[in-house]
Amino acid sequence: MLSEALGGLLPSAVGVAISPVPIIAVILMLGTPKAKSNGPAFALGWVIGLVAVSVIVLAVAGGADDPDSTAATGVNWFQVAVGILFLAMAAGQWRKRPTPGEQPEMPTWMAMIDNFDAIKSLCLGALLSGLNPKNLALTAAGAASIAQAGLSSGESGIAVGVFVVIASTTVVGPVAFYLVAPDAATRPLTTTKGFMSDHNAVIMMVVLLILGAKILGQGLGALGS
């Protein structure tokens, strides 16, 4: 059923949406002279990456709605692997969290965002949504849950659309806010960027821990049934 598929993909979609690095990246772009072109390009690339991964996983996992099929078993083992990976990543985030007073370390490429054009911004958005390990795994897990639901093509399209909308709110939302009211958007976006930068490791640790336990339990439960 479509409702069950939407319930299954919701945690993964929210996990993608609250990724600090893409949020910081898009806010940095909105502070550059080319904000009105680079911001929408980044958001478009982000959406393209999510859609591409979702469609590929749905194509590969076709038939996973039959619990006795090879595809279903493969999806279940994939969920187990992702769950274990996320728990390990959560432990890593906890170990590398900054000590009190220490400046959080951000990716070096963020310093080059001022020099980006629209094409580079679009490519960065697609890379962060489609090839970033965490977001790739979460998008694949969300698409896998759709594949297991045995939906029609139309319903699968709706489910993918819902996933992409939820997962894109924190990237597309700031861009839309800036385009509509650039002056009003400056302060809240700057505050959000500072919070995400300061608490990146802790946010990621909590997200990965919760989602890792959820996805691992889902995979193990399906394998044991």
Q: What angle do CA 199, 126, 175 make, to 5 degrees?
A: 65
Q: Which two tokens stand for residue 24?
A: 């910081």
H helical segments located in 61-132? 70-95, 118-130
Residue that has been written with the tokens 């099929």 in this structure: 69
pLDDT score of 53 more than 70? yes
Q: What letter represents residue 89's amino acid? A: M
Q: Where are the beta strands (DSSP E) in the chain?
A: none
Q: Which two tokens stand for residue 88?
A: 């390990």
Contact criterion met (CB below 8 Å) for 206 and 15? no
Average pLDDT over every residue of 179-207: 88
The values of phi and psi at residue 97, to 5°, are -65, 145
Model pLDDT, residue 64: 62
Q: What angle do CA 112, 107, 25 make, to 5 degrees?
A: 65
Average pLDDT over every residue of 97-113: 76
pLDDT score of 103 more than 80? no
pLDDT score of 163 more than 90? yes
Model pLDDT, residue 68: 63
The values of phi and psi at residue 108, to 5°, are -65, -30
Average pLDDT over every residue of 57-72: 72
| 3 state DSSP class of 68 | coil
Weakest mean pLDDT among 65-69, 159-163, 194-198: 65-69
Model pLDDT, residue 161: 94
82 band by pLDDT with thresholds 50, 70 and 90: confident
pLDDT score of 146 more than 90? no
- Predicted TM-score (pTM) of this structure: 0.85
Q: What angle do CA 214, 149, 158 make, to 5 degrees?
A: 100
Q: How far is CA 147 from CA 15, 45, 109, 182, 215, in A?
A: 19, 24, 35, 40, 15
